[in-house]
Chains A and B, each alone.
Chain A
């Protein structure tokens, strides 16, 4: 594999992980909760593309809409699902001042609930779906062939990260979210509405999940009710490597994990390749031993009061 191909491949996977990590990091910032259900929102967005059926062949539903309508509908569904999970599963626990472990278990439960609903409606057999067929073609770039979808994934991620920076630095809601991430109680004392900030974080995380589901399905064309789990784990590991409580850290941590994973896959001798994840997570352990607080640790990651 050519170096440019390898780099684009690695950045594409890193971008996916960075987007999951950003969603998890946003919610951790305002709620001190690790939301494993983030991966299952990605799965939900993907399954929304097809008609709910137990048949092996699922005809497209939202997947047959024109591109703009398709994108908006999927984002609306996943952002809405994010808000609903917050309102009915997590907010009551937060009101009762539940600890981080309880919230974590609750997020697992929400994730498994979503998976089980999809399993019930669609069965456990993977299904195929095709969206944005144009993106699957190969591009000629500097004499090498690269997949268009990888370039699009990297560009969309860069665009979303830029939009997030503008939101967090320029808009009052974004500045309030950063303040709440740093000291939630103090933000409330200054009048910042806790419920609104947290609901907004879930909506944004849900929207990110929706966009990622589209990029993921466009690349693989496969639906599987467990497809969100490895993404959530990668996103979570990314936030930990980057440093809990730092959004920049979460993004860079996710990127690092994806890039490292791709590079190991390409560069390990063939005999060692099946053990790629052992090397990857060995590297994660090493990073955490050297910097237990993460590479870009936030200033304030204490318990919520």
Chain B
């Protein structure tokens, strides 16, 4: 198993943001986390990336516990996070953003093939290579954020709210890219607010609510359930 999370609890001060959350991601899968605002999806992803430290539970990457490791060490184990809000370095150029991300794999000059893939997937980044990243549009920034994560050559790419604040044409593009990455064998963990999009793309889906896992299963099976929207928006899962 690539990633296993067991009984995760993360607190902000004394307030638990996530409780009793367990899940796993196998190599080659696309897994989606869905849930309303404040459900604890982003908190879970930040814990997985080593930014937030769990107060309970375990996170294992290929059976090795990574709780307490620094974010930069977790990145070296092959986990890349594109966090909510993209967080590109606006004062740096596109080139410089990519240079920062290529550091752990020997620098950008040793990453020709990844860079070529990136320019094939995101031609706009090639055109705007020396522009300040802060001047890119929201959609272009999202592409840069994903490109940066790819340069760390991840085994698992986590993207938190890939479509948030994007024009529909960019959402389409980003999801085409995910499909392409999947065909290349990249494992994906996506956080989505749109249930429809999650069910159409993912192999498996986890539904979080108020910091707890309320439902999980294969996307195809969940898509069949009539009560899914009811659970998402308020009710509890039927036994």
Q: Which residues of A contact B (CB under 8 A)?
A: 172, 175-176, 178-179, 182-183, 185-194, 299, 305
CB pair A190 B91 closer than 8 Å: no
CB pair A189 B83 closer than 8 Å: yes
Q: Contact partner of A191 among B83, B92, B152, CB < 8 A?
A: B152
The residue in B71, B81, B100 that gathers the most chain A C-beta atoms within 10 A of its C-beta is B100
Closest chain-B Cβ to A161's Cβ sits at a distance in Å of 18
CB pair A182 B70 closer than 8 Å: no
CB pair B92 A194 closer than 8 Å: no
Closest to B145 in A: A186
The main secondary structure of chain A at its interface with chain B is helix
The segment from B101-109, B135-143, B190-198, B222-230 found at the interface with A is B101-109
- Chain B residues with CB below 8 A from A191, complex form: 72, 75-76, 101, 103-104, 152
Q: In the complex the two chains form, what is the Cα distance from A193 to B100 in whole Å? A: 11
Q: Contact partner of B103 among A176, A178, A194, A299, CB < 8 A?
A: A176
- Chain B residues with CB below 8 A from A176, complex form: 100, 103
Given known A-B contacts A175-B100, A190-B100, A190-B152, A185 and B51 have beta carbons under 8 A apart: yes
CB pair B96 A183 closer than 8 Å: no
CB pair B51 A178 closer than 8 Å: no
CB pair B99 A305 closer than 8 Å: no
Determine whether B90 belongs to the interface, using a CB cutoff of 8 Å to chain A.
Answer: yes
Closest to A305 in B: B51
Q: Which of B120-163 contact A (CB under 8 A)?
A: 134, 148-149, 152
CB pair A172 B104 closer than 8 Å: no
Closest chain-A Cβ to B8's Cβ sits at a distance in Å of 19
Closest to B86 in A: A186
Closest chain-B Cβ to A168's Cβ sits at a distance in Å of 10
Q: Which residues of B contact A (CB under 8 A)?
A: 49, 51, 70-72, 75-76, 80-81, 83, 87, 89-92, 96-97, 99-101, 103-104, 107, 134, 148-149, 152
Closest chain-B Cβ to A167's Cβ sits at a distance in Å of 13
- Chain A residues with CB below 8 A from B72, complex form: 188-189, 191-194
17 new A-B contacts at CB < 8 Å, known A178-B96, A190-B104, A193-B72: A175-B96, A178-B92, A179-B92, A179-B100, A182-B89, A182-B90, A183-B89, A188-B70, A188-B71, A189-B49, A189-B51, A189-B81, A190-B149, A191-B103, A192-B103, A194-B70, A299-B134
- Chain A residues with CB below 8 A from B107, complex form: 172
- Chain A residues with CB below 8 A from B75, complex form: 188-191
Closest chain-A Cβ to B134's Cβ sits at a distance in Å of 8
- Chain A residues with CB below 8 A from B96, complex form: 175, 178-179
- Chain A residues with CB below 8 A from B76, complex form: 191
- Chain A residues with CB below 8 A from B101, complex form: 190-191
- Chain B residues with CB below 8 A from A178, complex form: 89, 91-92, 96
Q: In the complex the two chains form, what is the Cα distance from A150 to B77 in whole Å? A: 53
Q: In the complex the two chains form, what is the Cα distance from A176 to B134 in whole Å? A: 17
Q: Contact partner of B89 among A179, A188, A193, CB < 8 A?
A: A179
Q: Contact partner of B99 among A172, A189, A194, A299, CB < 8 A?
A: A172
CB pair B92 A175 closer than 8 Å: yes
Given known A-B contacts A191-B75, A191-B76, A186 and B87 have beta carbons under 8 A apart: yes
Q: In the complex the two chains form, what is the Cα distance from A182 to B97 in whole Å? A: 11
- Chain A residues with CB below 8 A from B51, complex form: 185, 188-189, 305
Closest to B71 in A: A188
**22 A-B contacts (beta carbon < 8 Å):** A172-B103, A172-B107, A175-B99, A175-B100, A179-B92, A185-B71, A186-B87, A186-B89, A188-B70, A188-B72, A188-B75, A189-B49, A189-B51, A189-B81, A190-B100, A190-B101, A190-B103, A190-B148, A190-B149, A191-B72, A192-B103, A194-B70
